[in-house]
Structures are given as structure tokens and as C-alpha cells.
Amino acid sequence: MTTFTGLPMISIPSWLLHFIVSLSIYISFQPAKTTVCENRIAGLRAIAIELLAPGPGQISTAPRFDEVLELPHLEKGQVETTPTVANFPLIHAAYSFLRVLCSRKKASSAFMTRKGSSSRTEELESSNRTFTFDDVEAPPFNLLTHWFYSERVPASIEELMHVTSSPRYKIELVELKALALAERFDVPALHCALSDSLANKRIQYPPYYELVIYAFETVIPGHPFLELLIDAHCAHWRPAIDYADPEEEDLKADLPIDFLLGTMEWYRNMRNGTDIRSEKYQCYYHLHDSGFEEFECDVGTCQETIYPSYASEGGKGKMQRRWKGGLKNTKSSKMRWVVSGSKYLYALWWLANN
């Protein structure tokens, strides 16, 4: 039994006190993120609104795709597409999936409320029509639909190649185009997952110029992936890389001005003695919405540096982490103990004074 002298009438068993403190710490570390249901509804709603409202979506006839209504099997949800156009019979499955989710949230009437779209929704569900995005390629769209089913980005290159039907050397470009779709359809969870996936792949290799050009044309300025492209190019590029690929030589003239200015700034900092190679870790280029997600990044290969050979020579410095409010120098294991101890002390103080 544990008795607080300040409150002689209250006695708390030790096991109960330990349980309460542990539970409070666990809850305090949980990130405030939307549920899987809310993420999927938000993304599918954005797609459906663009399709049903007047806009780039075009209607064409196609056979019925009743088999795709059997969710959540991705193999049955994949559809035949041309190399440059993403057909969308999967919208049938999307509506079926949304009806299930919305019925659970008692919000079925709130899904479509724009421009008289409810009648068009009923028409779509009873028709043989297929929507087509003329400005969306099939591989990134397949990755988008894969995320709606599984709520994850494929972890391996082989799985990405299978999902997107793309060659290995185009995988990063496909992911980047899917990231642009996530921005277009307002799917922040997918945007964050793709950003981290791209950072993990590009951390130790120079980017090819087609990826650089597309990134600086489509990605929001200030995104950490743009900074990673500059850092990875300056840290790993060698002239022989361009000589071995004539297409790379041809694309040099099309490199974005912001990319070239970034490389100039990088080398200026090196000349002035500011060596970023020992400071920027893989986690630096990830998107973190909370300190809890920051701690989760301590696992696995997230400690790889932008230039690992330099770090192995003794140049390893303090980790710089990208938090929502900026950069923060941390030693993750020590910080974890400090925060945990502070939570315990606060919980004990609160129990003693309430």
C-alpha cells in the first residue's frame, strides 16, 4: 500500500499506482492523428468530388466491373489501364467501401453534398460507366489505390515494382508522382508516408536529373525532399555518372534554377567550414507531426547519415532532427529517459495533490 502523508485518508495500492502512471505516460505519447477510416474517407471524397463535379474527369462507357466490389482484396481491385491514362472503374469499389465506413460513422448523408452530386452518385452506381483521368498516369494511381486498401506504402522495391508495374529505375519517380496525387486529393497520411519512403531510398545515392526536374516542378517549396536532392547530389555525384548516361548529359540544361542555387549554397558552406555531412541524418528529411513520431524514428536504419563514409571516419556529430516547429538537437536515448522520468514525477505529484 502507498499512503500520501498530505492526504491521510487516501491509500492507493502500489500496483494500481504503477498502472495509472504507466497508462498516463502511454496516453501522453500517443500522436494526435486521424483514424484509418477518416484518412480513407477524406481521400476518396476528394477523388469522387473531382470526378462527379464538372472538371477534368471524363465519362466513357465500359463493361460492368461488379467483381471489383469484393473488398478489400487488392488483386481484384486492380484495373486494366493504358500506359498513360488511369481508368477508374475502381470508383464502384470506392463507393461500396465508403458506404460501409460511413454507415459505421453514421455519416452516410454527409459524404456527397456538392453540386447535386447525390443523384449522380446513384446514377454512377447503377451504370456501366468508367471515369478517366487524362492527366494521371497509371503507375502512381495504382500506388494511390493500393494505399486506400492497405493504408501503407510498399516497403520493398520489388513490391513497389509489382504494385505499380514499373521498372526499378523509375520507382522513385512513380512515388514522387503519387506524392503529387496525395497533395491533389488531400491525403496527408499518404503524403507523409511517401515523403519518408523517398528519403529512405535517396539518402545514399545521387538523384537522376529527371527526378530532380519533376520534383522542383511539382513539390511544394521548402519540402525536405527538395533539400535531400541537393544534399545527396553534392555528397555523392561524380562526373562519371553523367558520362555513362547520355540522357543525363542532355537533361543538364533543364535543371531547375533553385536546384542549382542550392548546390552553390552547399559548396559555399563547405568552403566556409560548415560541413553538413556529419549532421544530417535520414530522420532529418522525414516529416514528423509530433515528438512521438520523432521517437519512433529511432528504430532501424533511420540513423543513416547523408554521407556515411565521413561519419565512420570520426566526423559524426550531434543529430539534427526536423520537428514540426523546426530543428532540435537531441540524443534520442537520453531524451527518452528524461521525458519518461518527468512524466513519472509529474504523475506522482498530481496524485499527491489531488
- Residue range 120-130, pLDDT digits in tens: 445 444 444 44
Q: Cell 544534399 belongs to which residue?
A: 231
- Kindly state whether residue 265 falls inside one of the protein's structural domains: no
- Kindly state whether residue 46 falls inside one of the protein's structural domains: yes
| In contact, 225 and 195? CB cutoff 8 Å | yes
How far does Cα 50 stand from its chain's mean position? 22
- Kindly state whether residue 105 falls inside one of the protein's structural domains: yes
Which residues have C-beta within 8 Å of that of residue 330, sequence separation ≥ 6?
A: 294, 319, 321
- Residue range 245-302, pLDDT digits in tens: 777 778 888 889 999 898 888 888 877 766 555 556 667 677 765 544 555 555 444 5
Tell me what pLDDT residue 121 has.
Answer: 46
- Tallying the residues shown for the chain, one arrives at 354
Q: How far apart are CA 83 and CA 98, in angstroms?
A: 28
Tell me what pLDDT residue 135 has.
Answer: 73
| In contact, 160 and 193? CB cutoff 8 Å | no
257-271 and 224-236 helices cross at what angle (nearest 10)? 60
Q: How far apart are CA 352 and CA 354, in angstroms?
A: 6
Tell me what pLDDT residue 241 has.
Answer: 73
- Kindly state whether residue 115 falls inside one of the protein's structural domains: yes
Which residues have C-beta within 8 Å of that of residue 79, sequence separation ≥ 6?
A: 65, 68, 87, 88, 89, 90
Q: What does the DSSP assignment read for 40-100?
A: HHHHHHHHHHHHHSSSS-EEEE----GGGGSTT-HHHH-----SS-EEETHHHHHHHHHHH
Q: How far apart are CA 206 and CA 175, in angstroms?
A: 17
Peptide bond into 72 cis (omega under 30): yes
Residue 74 belongs to domain spanning: 38-202
Tell me what pLDDT residue 23 has.
Answer: 60
Tell me what pLDDT residue 186 has.
Answer: 77
- Kindly state whether residue 51 falls inside one of the protein's structural domains: yes
Q: Is the pTM of this model over 0.75?
A: no
- Kindly state whether residue 157 falls inside one of the protein's structural domains: yes
- Residue range 30-47, pLDDT digits in tens: 444 444 444 555 555 555
SS3 of 339, please? helix
Domain count, the chain: 1
Q: Where are the beta strands (DSSP E) in the chain?
A: 2-3, 11-12, 58-61, 86-88, 129-133, 319-323, 326-330
Distance set, CA 24 to CA 10, 16, 182 (Å): 20, 12, 34
Which residues have C-beta within 8 Å of that of residue 326, sequence separation ≥ 6?
A: none
Q: How far apart are CA 216 and CA 223, in angstroms?
A: 10
- Kindly state whether residue 270 falls inside one of the protein's structural domains: no
Tell me what pLDDT residue 193 has.
Answer: 84
Tell me what pLDDT residue 271 has.
Answer: 78
- Kindly state whether residue 321 falls inside one of the protein's structural domains: no
Q: How far apart are CA 94 and CA 109, in angstroms?
A: 16
Q: Which residue in 60, 59, 57 sits closest to 48, CA to CA?
A: 57
| In contact, 2 and 13? CB cutoff 8 Å | yes
Tell me what pLDDT residue 93 has.
Answer: 44
Q: Which residues of the chain have pLDDT under 70?
A: 1-134, 203, 273-282, 284, 288-344, 346-347, 354
257-271 and 209-218 helices cross at what angle (nearest 10)? 110
